[in-house]
C-alpha cells in the first residue's frame, strides 16, 4: 500500500490562479492569511498528515473501533495518539474564531486542511469534521453562557462534538423523530430517546464529547416545525469548567459497517440525560442545517481526499505491475501504465479530482465572501452562489468518489479485489459519502426545489452566464484551446436547455422535476468542473511554468473531449418527466404479473 503524498501543489495552484483566494486574503479580518502564509501553512499541515495521521489509515480498517463489555468505546491502534498530536499542533483550530482560541483563518483554508486530513485517513478525519460542525451551530445560535462553557475546549480539540439526528424509524424523514425533551425547574431539559448512526458518538480520543441532539418538546408542532436542538455533554460541566459526573447517555452498540471501520458509529441511548437548549424552542432544524450545510461541502471534499489516496496508489501500482507487451515495446513485458486503457483510467482519475477539488474550494471562497465582504450586495450574491453549489459539491463529489475509487481498484486488476493491497479499503470507505448528510437524491431535490428557484431562477441563470463568459477568453487564447471552447460551449447549451425545462416545469409538475433532478445535478457538476478546468488551462499558460501549463491544458482538453460530453447525454433523463417512473406497479416491477398464457388456463 503506497504512502500518501500531500497534494499541496495543486491546492496552491487552485487557490492562487483558479478560485480567487488572493481576494479573500484582502477582506477585513483575513489580512494575516495572505497566500504565501497559507501555502506554507498547508505544506506543514501536509507533512503532519503524512507523518502522523496517514500511518493510522490501514490499522483503522483492519482493526476498527470496538465497544468493550463495560460500555466504553476504544478506537483503532494509533488513533488516540495521533489525535493527541493533532490537538497539540492546533490544526483543527486554524479556521475558527480567535475569540475562542482559533486562528481566524478563512473557511477556504479550513476546507483545504480537511482534504489533506481526509486523504491521510478519512475515518480519523470524521471526528474533527463533526466537532467543527457543532462549533458552527453554537457560534450561530448558542447563548453566551453555552459558548463560554463549551467552545474554548471544542475549538482546541480537547473536547469533540457529534450530531444526533437519526433514529431507527426516522432517517431522512427527520420530522418523524420521537426523542423527548422535558423542561426541568432549573432550566435544563431531560432528554430521553435513542439515536443511531452517530459518528464518534463515543470514543477514547478526548475526555469530553458534546452531543448536539434533536428532540421534541411536549406539545410541540408535528414534523420538522416541532424539533428543538440541545447540547447534551457526555460529562456534566461544573461551574469552574471542570468535568463532573457522567451524564445519562451511553453507547449501546457500534454499527458493523462496509467501510470507515476506524470511525465508531454508535447507537446512543439517552435516559433522562441533562441537556441545554440551543437557540429557541422548535428551531432545531434551522440550527442543524448550519451544521449540515457546512458538512455537505466537507463530505464532497472527503470524497476528493479518499479518491486522491486511491489515485496515488493506483498510479504507483501501474508503474510497478508488469504484464503483457505494449505496442512498440522492446522488453518482454511492460509496466501496465504503458497501455492505453490504463492511461485512460489514470487520467480520468486525475482530471476529475482536479475538477472536484476546484469546485469545493470555489464554494469555500464564496462562503468567505458571504461572511466577510464589506459590500452587502456582494455578500448576498456570494451566499446565493454558495447555496447553489453546495448540493452539487456534496452529490457530484461523492458520486465521483464511488467512480474514481472503483477505477483505482480496476487498475489493480485481481489484486484490487484482494484486501491485502488496500485498494478495496478506499472503495469501501468512500461509499457512505453519497448517503450521509442527506443522500444525493436529497441534494438533487434541494437543487431543483430550493436553489434553482432563487429570484425566480435568475440567480442560477446569472451563474450560467458567468461560466459562458470564459468562451471569449478561450477563443483569444489560440487554437490549442479550441477543443476546450467547443466542448464547453456545447455542454453549457445542454445545461441551458435542461435549466429552462426545469424552470418552466417546476410549478406545474414538481414530480417531473424531481424525477430528473439527479441527472440534472450531474449536468451542473460536469459543466462547472469543465469551466474551472478551462480557467486552470488559461491560468497555466500565464503562470510561466511550462510543465504546469502543459498539465493544466491536457487535463482541460481531456475533460472537454472525453468526460464533459456526458452532460448532453443526460439531457433526456433530466427532462423525461415522471410518467415512465410510475408506469409500472409493484407487481410489474417484481416481475410477478401473470402471463396471458397462465391466466387463460
Backbone angles phi, psi at 271, to 5 degrees: -115, 75
Question: Is 377 a residue whose pLDDT tops 90?
Answer: yes
Question: Is 530 a residue whose pLDDT tops 60?
Answer: yes
553 within 8 A of 347, measured Cβ to Cβ: no
Q: Which residue has the cell 414534523?
A: 223
229 beta partners: 214, 278
Which of 194, 184, 234, 199 lies closest to 214 in space, CA to CA? 194
What is the pLDDT, as a whole number, of residue 250?
97
Which of 173, 190, 198 lies closest to 254 in space, CA to CA? 198
Which of 196, 173, 214 lies closest to 264 in space, CA to CA? 196
432 within 8 A of 12, measured Cβ to Cβ: no
Q: Is residue 588 part of a domain?
A: no
Which of 522, 533, 499 lies closest to 569 in space, CA to CA? 522
Q: What is the pLDDT of residues 183-223, one digit of tens each?
A: 999 999 999 999 999 999 999 999 999 999 999 999 999 99
Q: Is residue 404 part of a domain?
A: no
For residues 174 and 184, what is the distance between their CA atoms, to the nearest angstrom? 25
For residues 160 and 279, what is the distance between their CA atoms, to the nearest angstrom? 20
What is the pLDDT, as a whole number, of residue 595?
60
pLDDT, average across residues 80-95: 97
Average predicted confidence (pLDDT) for the chain: 95
Report, in this order, helix, strand and coil percent for the chain, each rounded to 5: 60, 10, 25
Which domain, by its residues, includes 76? Answer: 8-144
Residue 113 and residue 168 in one domain? no
Q: Is residue 504 part of a domain?
A: yes
Q: Is residue 548 part of a domain?
A: yes
pLDDT band at 544 (very low <50, low <70, confident <90, very high): confident
Q: What is the pLDDT of residues 414-459, one digit of tens each?
A: 999 999 999 999 999 999 999 998 999 999 999 999 999 999 999 9
Q: Which residue has the cell 471542570?
A: 242
For residues 158 and 497, what is the distance between their CA atoms, to the nearest angstrom? 51
Residue 188 and residue 272 in one domain? yes
Q: Is residue 398 part of a domain?
A: no
For residues 567 and 498, what is the distance between their CA atoms, to the nearest angstrom? 10
Long-range contacts of 142-148 (CB under 8 A, 24+ apart): 142/231, 142/278, 142/279, 146/231, 146/276, 146/278, 147/100
Residue 106 and residue 193 in one domain? no
What is the pLDDT, as a whole number, of residue 513?
97
Choose one of 87, 114, 144: the last residue of a domain. Answer: 144
Q: What is the pLDDT of residues 309-329, one digit of tens each?
A: 999 999 999 999 999 999 998
Helix 284-320 to helix 340-372 angle (10° resolution) is: 150
Domains: count for the chain: 3
Residue 14 and residue 139 in one domain? yes
265 within 8 A of 254, measured Cβ to Cβ: yes
Distances from the Cα of 16 to the Cα of 56, 361, 555, angstroms: 32, 11, 18
Residue 99 and residue 177 in one domain? no
525 within 8 A of 396, measured Cβ to Cβ: yes
Q: What percent of the chain is predicted at pLDDT more than 90?
A: 91
What is the pLDDT, as a whole number, of residue 1?
54
Q: Which residue has the cell 425566480?
A: 456
For residues 340 and 28, what is the distance between their CA atoms, to the nearest angstrom? 50
Residue 47 and residue 80 in one domain? yes
pLDDT band at 58 (very low <50, low <70, confident <90, very high): very high
Residue 12 and residue 46 in one domain? yes
Which of 228, 230, 268, 229 lies closest to 249 in space, CA to CA? 268
Choose one of 282, 310, 334: the last residue of a domain. Answer: 282
- The yes-or-no answer on residue 437 being catalytic is yes
Q: What pTM was computed for the model? A: 0.96
For residues 505 and 513, what is the distance between their CA atoms, to the nearest angstrom? 7
Q: Is residue 106 part of a domain?
A: yes
Q: Is residue 382 part of a domain?
A: no
For residues 165 and 548, what is the distance between their CA atoms, to the nearest angstrom? 45
Backbone angles phi, psi at 253, to 5 degrees: -165, 170
Residue 175 and residue 85 in one domain? no
Residue 166 and residue 136 in one domain? no
pLDDT band at 598 (very low <50, low <70, confident <90, very high): low
Which of 36, 276, 243, 37 lies closest to 145 in space, CA to CA? 276
Determine which one of 68, 81, 437, 473 is catalytic.
437
pLDDT, average across residues 93-107: 97
What is the pLDDT, as a whole number, of residue 599?
53
Q: Is residue 82 part of a domain?
A: yes
What is the domain-level CATH number for residue 267? 2.40.110.20
End-to-end CA distance of the chain: 62
Residue 132 and residue 255 in one domain? no
Residue 254 and residue 132 in one domain? no
Question: Is 96 a residue whose pLDDT tops 90?
Answer: yes
Q: What is the pLDDT of residues 174-191, one digit of tens each?
A: 778 999 999 999 999 999
Backbone angles phi, psi at 264, to 5 degrees: -70, 115
What is the pLDDT, as a whole number, of residue 597?
57
- Copy the grid coordinates of residue 470: 470564459
Residue 20 and residue 75 in one domain? yes
For residues 206 and 191, what is the distance between their CA atoms, to the nearest angstrom? 23
What is the pLDDT, as a whole number, of residue 543?
76
Q: What is the pLDDT of residues 545-566, one digit of tens each?
A: 899 999 999 999 999 999 999 9
Choose one of 89, 114, 144: the last residue of a domain. Answer: 144
182 within 8 A of 253, measured Cβ to Cβ: no
What is the domain-level CATH number for residue 74? 1.10.540.10
- Copy the grid coordinates of residue 340: 492505453
Amino acid at each position: 500500500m503506497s504512502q500518501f503524498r500531500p497534494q499541496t501543489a495543486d491546492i496552491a495552484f487552485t487557490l492562487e490562479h483558479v478560485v480567487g483566494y488572493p481576494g479573500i486574503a484582502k477582506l477585513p479580518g483575513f489580512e494575516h492569511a495572505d497566500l504565501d502564509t497559507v501555502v506554507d501553512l498547508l505544506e506543514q499541515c501536509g507533512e503532519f498528515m503524512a507523518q502522523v495521521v496517514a500511518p493510522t489509515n490501514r490499522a483503522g480498517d483492519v482493526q476498527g473501533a470496538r465497544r468493550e463489555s463495560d460500555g466504553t468505546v476504544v478506537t483503532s491502534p494509533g488513533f488516540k495518539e495521533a489525535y493527541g498530536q493533532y490537538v497539540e499542533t492546533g490544526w483543527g483550530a486554524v479556521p475558527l474564531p480567535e475569540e475562542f482560541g482559533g486562528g481566524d483563518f478563512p473557511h477556504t483554508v479550513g476546507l483545504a486542511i480537511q482534504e489533506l486530513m481526509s486523504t491521510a485517513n478519512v475515518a480519523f478525519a470524521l471526528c474533527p469534521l463533526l466537532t467543527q460542525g457543532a462549533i458552527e451551530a453554537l457560534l450561530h445560535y448558542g447563548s453566551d453562557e453555552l459558548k463560554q462553557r463549551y467552545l474554548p475546549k471544542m475549538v482546541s480539540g480537547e473536547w469533540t462534538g457529534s450530531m444526533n439526528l437519526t433514529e431507527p424509524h426516522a432517517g431522512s424523514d427527520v420530522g418523524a423523530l420521537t426523542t423527548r425533551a422535558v423542561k426541568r425547574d432549573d432550566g435544563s431539559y431531560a432528554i430521553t430517546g435513542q439515536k443511531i448512526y452517530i459518528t464518534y458518538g463515543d470514543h477514547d480520543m478526548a475526555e469530553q464529547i458534546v452531543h448536539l441532539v434533536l428532540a421534541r418538546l411536549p406539545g410541540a408542532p408535528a414534523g420538522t416545525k416541532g424539533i428543538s436542538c440541545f447540547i447534551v455533554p457526555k460529562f456534566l460541566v461544573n461551574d469552574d469548567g471542570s468535568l463532573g459526573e457522567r451524564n445519562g447517555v451511553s453507547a449501546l452498540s457500534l454499527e458493523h459497517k462496509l467501510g470507515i471501520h476506524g470511525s465508531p458509529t454508535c447507537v446512543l441511548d439517552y435516559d433522562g440525560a441533562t441537556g441545554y437548549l440551543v437557540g429557541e424552542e422548535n428551531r432545531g432544524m434551522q440550527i442543524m442545517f448550519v451544521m449540515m450545510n457546512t458538512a455537505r461541502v466537507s463530505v464532497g471534499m472527503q470524497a476528493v481526499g479518499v479518491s486522491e489516496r486511491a489515485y496515488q496508489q493506483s498510479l504507483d501500482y501501474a508503474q510497478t505491475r508488469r504484464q503483457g507487451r505494449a505496442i512498440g515495446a522492446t522488453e518482454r513485458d511492460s509496466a501496465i501504465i504503458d497501455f492505453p486503457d490504463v492511461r485512460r483510467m489514470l487520467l480520468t482519475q486525475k482530471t476529475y479530482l482536479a475538477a472536484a477539488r476546484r469546485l469545493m474550494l470555489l464554494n469555500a471562497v464564496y462562503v468567505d465572501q458571504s461572511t466577510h465582504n464589506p459590500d452587502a450586495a456582494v455578500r448576498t450574491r456570494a451566499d446565493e452562489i454558495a447555496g447553489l453549489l453546495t448540493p452539487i459539491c456534496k452529490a457530484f463529489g461523492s458520486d465521483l468518489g464511488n467512480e474514481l475509487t472503483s477505477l483505482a481498484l480496476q487498475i489493480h486488476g485481481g489484486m484490487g479485489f484482494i484486501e491485502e493491497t488496500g485498494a478495496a479499503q478506499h472503495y469501501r470507505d468512500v461509499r457512505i459519502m453519497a448517503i450521509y448528510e442527506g443522500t444525493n437524491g436529497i441534494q438533487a431535490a434541494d437543487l431543483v426545489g430550493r436553489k434553482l428557484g432563487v429570484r425566480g431562477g435568475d440567480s442560477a441563470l446569472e451563474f450560467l452566464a458567468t461560466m459562458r463568459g470564459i468562451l471569449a477568453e478561450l477563443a483569444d487564447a489560440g487554437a490549442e484551446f479550441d477543443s476546450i471552447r467547443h466542448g464547453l460551449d456545447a455542454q453549457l447549451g445542454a445545461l441551458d436547455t435542461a435549466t429552462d425545462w426545469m424552470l418552466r416545469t417546476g410549478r406545474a409538475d414538481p414530480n417531473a422535476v424531481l424525477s430528473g433532478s439527479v441527472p440534472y445535478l450531474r449536468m451542473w457538476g460536469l459543466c462547472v468542473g469543465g469551466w474551472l478546468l478551462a480557467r486552470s488551462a488559461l491560468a497555466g499558460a500565464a503562470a510561466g511554468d511550462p510543465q504546469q501549463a502543459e498539465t493544466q491544458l491536457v487535463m482541460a482538453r481531456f475533460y472537454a473531449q472525453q468526460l464533459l460530453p456526458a452532460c448532453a447525454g443526460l439531457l433526456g433523463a433530466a427532462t423525461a418527466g415522471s410518467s415512465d417512473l410510475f408506469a409500472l406497479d409493484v407487481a410489474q416491477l417484481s416481475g410477478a404479473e401473470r402471463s396471458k398464457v397462465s391466466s387463460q388456463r
